Amino acid sequence: MPRIRLQPSGILFQVPAGDDLLSAAANTGIRVPAACRNGVCEICEAHLTSGQALNTRNQQPIPVGERLMMCRSLALTDLELEIPAVMASGQYQPRTFQAKVVDVRSISHDVYRVELQLPGRRDVAFHAGQYLSVNLPDADPCYFSIASSPSAGNIELHIQASPEWVSAQKVIDALTSGQDVRVELPHGKACLAAAPAKPMVMVAAGTGFAQMKSLVEYLQETNFNHPVKLFWGVRKHEDMYLRSLAQQWHNDWAPFTFQPVVGDDEDNDWGGHHDQLVRAVLASGFDWSTVEVHASGSPAMVYTLMDALLAAGLPESAFFSDVLEYAPRG
């Protein structure tokens, strides 16, 4: 199959026989801006910098140096395309938006599901696994993982809040006030610009599940067929606020396996039983030299997990967590 490299992102994907470039990119999980899919809107425009491609509209070869519409182009050889609208992981620049609050509902004793509508949603780009900040007046930004796929119409958040958690409760109060809120996105480099060509292991603690939900939905959309395993660790059973959804993925999506891990102690910071979660991951039987791992939780959990997996043979470049960026080791 021809291999396509997109610049300046450096993203690489393959094109099955007969597929146009846009369809092949979408099936790999690469978000190329598009609207009409018939070459009229010209949103999926790229410049051909090397290789041989065919215009399916007139069945003519496309000269190197000319523009092409990815929805109307076939790859005859390996290609290199210049398309600045496609960015690598973590390279989208954060922008600020006034978001309309569509829905806020309690989904557990202390977790709220929030749905936000952004203006011009088609032009708001982020990768699966990234997060945003809610910026309230006279308050520090509050950061939350985006729980929805980049293709979803609205933005979903899972916010853990109780009366004693002042900052989170302040956000919930603002979201339920009926007023728009200011958000900034995207943030984070522990995300997917394209589906990886290897098995995926996801490890979440508490509301870290939100980030994994975005990743799972994105991989399902790309028809990802490598094994995917999710470990979700919580302190008590009632803290596993969307267990039925994870179980539904397990039942309905063949590559996916869900393993819940529930601790018994009272330590909200996972100071004790995050070891229980790490032990469960290590016992899963993966060849750690061949997988990609995404982790979301407290710094203590993430670094304990990372150390254990690197010792077991996981390449450091295959371990992804936002903790590595916002709470680096000294």
Q: How much is the pLDDT for 266?
A: 47
**CA 149 from chain center: how many Å?**
7
d(CA 85, CA 321): 25
The answer to whether residues 174 and 129 belong to one domain is: yes
239 & 279 share domain: yes
pLDDT tens by residue, the chain, 330 residues = 999 999 998 899 999 989 999 999 988 878 887 777 667 778 899 999 999 999 999 999 999 999 999 999 999 999 999 998 888 887 888 999 999 999 999 999 999 999 999 998 777 889 999 999 999 998 999 999 999 999 899 999 999 998 778 888 999 999 999 999 999 999 999 999 888 989 999 999 999 999 999 999 999 988 899 999 999 999 899 999 999 999 999 999 999 999 999 986 444 444 445 788 999 999 999 999 999 999 999 999 999 999 999 999 999 999 999 999 999 986
How far apart CA 242 and CA 230 sit, in angstroms, is 13
Count of structural domains within the chain: 3
Domain limits for position 148? 95-187
**Residue 192: inside a domain:** no
Do 225 and 278 lie in a common domain?
Answer: yes
Of the three residues 163, 187, 211, the one that is the final residue of a domain is 187
Distance CA 8, CA 91 (A): 11
Asked if residues 80 and 5 have their Cβ atoms less than 8 Å apart, the reply is yes
**For residue 179, how far is the Cα from the chain centroid?**
28
Helix axes 243-252, 209-221, angle to 10 degrees: 30
Q: Return the structure tokens found at 237.
A: 């059973």
As given in the structure block, the two tokens for residue 236 are 């008590």
The single-letter code of the amino acid at 324 is L
CA–CA dist 213, 216 (Å, integer): 5
CATH of the domain at 294: 3.40.50.80
Q: Is residue 195 part of a domain?
A: no
pTM: 0.84
CA distance 214 to 127: 9
Backbone angles phi, psi at 220, to 5 degrees: -60, -40
Q: Helix (H, G, I), strand (E, B), or coil: what is residue 228?
A: strand
**Same domain for 147 and 263:** no
Which string of DSSP letters, residue by residue, matches 170-238? HHHHHHTTTS-EEEEEEE-SSSBSS--SS-EEEEEEGGGHHHHHHHHHHHHHTT--S-EEEEEEESSGG
Task: Give me the pLDDT at residue 28, please.
Answer: 82
pLDDT of residue 180: 96
**Judgement on whether residues 315 and 215 belong to the same structural domain of the protein:** yes
pLDDT at 273: 56
> Do 250 and 271 share a domain, yes or no?
yes
Point out the domain boundary residue: 129, 152, 187.
187
Is there a single domain that holds both residue 270 and residue 301? Answer: yes
Burial, 250: exposed, middle or buried (Cβ in 10 Å; 0-12, 13-18, 19+)? Answer: middle
Among 48, 82, 116, which residue terminates a domain? 82
Tokens of 182: 């200011």
Name residue 34's amino acid: A
Checking 52-55 for CB contacts under 8 A at 24+ apart, the result is: 52/76, 52/77, 52/79, 53/21, 53/79
Which has the closest alpha carbon to 141: 203, 110, 194, 185?
185
Position 90 in a domain? no
Q: In whole angstroms, what is the distance from residue 133 CA to residue 143 CA?
A: 4
Gyration radius (Cα) of the chain, Å = 21
CB atoms within 10 A of CB 208: 26
Tell me, what's the pLDDT at 117?
97
- The C-alpha angle 322, 324, 325, rounded to 5 degrees, equals 70
